[in-house]
Structure 1
């Protein structure tokens, strides 16, 4: 019964992450309309929808890790199935790398702004200008925004009709940096997991390597927790919620690998190497 409840909880986390793909698409779409208008093409598509592409690729990759470490037996992880999983994984990494490039592009976009001088901000009501509330959140300039922005120093993101206060622009840049650091951190972690899976399949994942990996990944996960906390403090709930779910999800993957390695070690005869299963 306990095992059934655990699996139900685990797969509920995975389902919630899949739902986040839709939520990020909605957020990216609304933001892209303001930053790129109708000029979205292959050249800037990843920059406009980086969070959506990133989340979708990671969800597929997460499911692949789950299949390899907890569902499919070592004996079946060979031949055509092995190559199929490798092909899907390779596609995921292409999109993850593409999304990381998009985060870098978005950082460059919000970092490029210049002073914006206007006598009366209310003249911008109904003109298509928006104001920067948060990274990826650009709101129409209405009477309330006009009153809030009047008398403040303003900046404009280069090449757009997005304006905001210098403090708001600086906050957006900080958030963009957190996106880049978070995405890069996850790439390092997942590459370490790939190495662990490969070594495990070849019977070479020793306890010493597992301990060293835990130390390195402890630092990397601490950075991810800090990023999640930063999003939580700033009130960016979707980013915070998504970061929290991913941390929980990959704790499950780590548990799968620990259990897999322990079971393989128990099955091996003392003094003999574990036979590679694929």
Structure 2
């Protein structure tokens, strides 16, 4: 925003927007730390010395995904707010676009990992010679239900499940009962949908940024991208509500924060468009 031409109300609104934006960014960073810890805890139950590289990257898919999104958010912040139009040329523009491309690849890998998880969860493989969870105690196995992993020991086995049949959960040293296996499958599909929806929303933002880079401030393509992005945000919020119904309230909170983060980029874009239109009017009047 040009402080020399902005009115006092505009400046106050701008300061409020910036305060909200950086508050959201800070809260997202706090959430990032939680997801790293969650992936580490999950890895303690699912990864072994024989685990493949894909299994390792799949286990830490959320950490990689969040890291890519943070870098993208930073790149968009630079391009839509921090850097001037004069600075966004040559090697600077190529660097920003190149880094964003790498982030796209990281996010695409996350979606691939989610897809691989769905595939590995499809077989229904019963655990033989086990009619009670305590039959599997102290065998370096974990029980999972609703993404909560517990080591199966003589102390824990009695309170985890009353089922009489248990099933392997993917290729990991993890078991669950049929209800738990079904839930794992449902949540794996939710991960895929959420990942694809975010990727499409990101492409819509990228399109708007590229259009404005070329001096385009309106038109059918711009409006389609903006409306499509809003619908995707609503659907992502719906996934977050689904997570909340399963007591994963933090996931809903995370969705709200990320939507808020990219709405902050939208505010940057709106401010940028306003400046472009003002420059066009000034050029016509000159």
Same fold per superposition (TM over 0.5) = yes
6 and 261 in structure 1: CA distance in 2 versus 1, 3 angstrom threshold: closer
Alignment of 1:95-174 (within 5 A): 95-117=106-128, 118-135=130-147, 137-142=148-153, 143-174=155-186
Residues 215, 125 of structure 1: alpha-carbon distance in 2 compared, 3 angstrom cutoff = same
1:53 partnered with 2:53: no
1:210-231 CA deviation, whole Å, 9 max, x = no partner?
A: 3332322222111111011111
- Displacement of 1:169 in angstroms is 1.1
Q: Following the alignment from structure 2 to structure 1, what is the Cα–Cα distance between the partners of residues 133 and 245?
A: 30
TM-fit CA distance, 1:271: 10
SS at 2:86 equivalent? helix
On the 8 A contact 2:61/2:110 being kept in 1, the answer is: yes
Count of matched residue positions in the alignment of Structure 1 and Structure 2: 271
Report the secondary structure of 1:132's partner residue.
Answer: strand
**Is 2:43 the partner of 1:42?**
no
Question: Could you say if the C-alpha distance between residues 20 and 200 of structure 1 is closer, same or farther in structure 2, counting changes exceeding 3 Å?
Answer: same
Residues 77, 265 of structure 2: 8 Å contact kept: yes
> In the superposition, relative to structure 1, how do residues 96 and 138 fare at CA in structure 2: closer, same or farther (>3 Å)?
same
8 A Cα contact 2:204 2:226, kept in partner: no
Choose the corresponding residue for 1:28, options 32, 39, 44: 39
Q: Secondary structure at the match of 1:76?
A: coil
Kindly state the Cα deviation for residue 97 of structure 1 after the two structures are TM-superposed: 1.3
Check whether the contact 1:68–1:77 (CA below 8 A) recurs between aligned residues.
yes
**Aligned 8 A contact 1:113 1:156 in 2:** yes
Is the contact made by 1:20 and 1:55 (CA closer than 8 Å) also made in structure 2?
A: no
1:27 CA displacement? 1.3
Shift of 1:24: 1.5
Moved more, 163-172 or 117-126: 117-126
Residues 1:41 and 1:22: Cα distance change in structure 2 (over 3 Å):
farther
Give the one of 56, 68, 91 matched to 1:80.
Answer: 91
Structure 2: distance between partners of 1:140 and 1:261: 55
Looking at structure 1, the residues matched to 194 and 167 of structure 2 have their Cα atoms a distance apart, in angstroms, of: 27
Task: State the match for 2:8 in structure 1.
Answer: none
Moved more, 175-184 or 38-47: 38-47
Distance 1:211 1:88 in 2: 26
- Greater shift, 118-127 or 198-207, is seen at 118-127
Q: For the residues of structure 2 that align with 1:229 and 1:178, how far apart are their CA atoms?
A: 11
TM-score by length of 1: 0.88
Distance 1:173 1:165, change over 3 A: same
Q: CA RMSD in A?
A: 2.2
Give 3-state SS (helix, strand or coil) of 1:194's partner: helix
TM-score (norm 2): 0.86
- C-alpha distance in 1 between matches for 2:170 and 2:47: 12
2:168 is paired with a residue whose SS is strand
1:196 to 208, 221, 242: 208
Are 2:69 and 1:66 aligned?
no
1:244 corresponding residue in structure 2: 256
Contact 2:240 2:251 in 1 (8 A): yes
In 1, the alpha carbon distance for the partners of 2:280 and 2:184 equals: 53
Aligned residue in 2 for 1:264: 276
* Mapped partners of 1:202, 1:226: distance in 2: 34
